Chain A
């Protein structure tokens, strides 16, 4: 695994990703009517762009640095806790916003994402989240009159 990792670097992955994306778009775009140059259908532009993207992907892949021993490149450890918590905080906002209202959604997004930072304790995250709920109630509900009830079911 390690040997595999060191043989390919960011440019290889990036180029490969662009190639896949470009081909995918090209295939999906081809399902719309492509047409001719003088009478272009809705599929023409996406197909052309998908093809260019795929080519650019290939170019990125082949111009990638020949895996020079990247000493200079600092390898940061992955930050799974932070990433997962930030993503789930936004999902929580959407779910609680749909079924619970603005106040619980606000609390959830601030509380969960605050926990993503290692320096936060549960207590300090709760304090921050409650403070933001208060700010939210004043600014968005009272001052801006946002169409989003603070509490509401369904």
Chain B
């Protein structure tokens, strides 16, 4: 069976990236460019397609960073991915920002266990742990948003690689929660990259997890924000 042709887009964090694979070649673009994501993504897409010598019509699906991360950032990638997928009548596959960073730790460091935390502002982190299964990172339980001093201790049986800006903002607080038994190896990985969404998405496409463009859901994870209802409304 021929490999799928997938185009991945992510702008959930300060880093924005686009990646393409057909199972053989891998073409990527990306840079850390807060507030410039909307400017950069479509030119990147055009660039990547040109280098691959294909058009959008050749794609089997669009892959998109579904969050968590910056609300606006996630929506920029989601809007562009939805428009591209709808225009070609091809499905969308969402991949978590936390899983993508874990996959990056596997790619760069051979990590088997990853603890991921993104600074979510307001004194909280987006948090999750991933374990490698057959070369793909799999989220253990649900990704959550919480105060860094409330995360659970890590299982002592694994060597845990840390990824994400949560470890830049709260290194000591998080380390203290992981427990004295935990074996923790820091990495320089701060942001997800579209490249690492491709292997996860390839498997999801095979497993029938792709959705129609209009059925795609952003995973904000933080759903209770600072807005307040009028008195007496529930």
Question: Are A and B interaction partners?
Answer: no
Residues of B whose CB lies within 8 Å of any CB of A are none
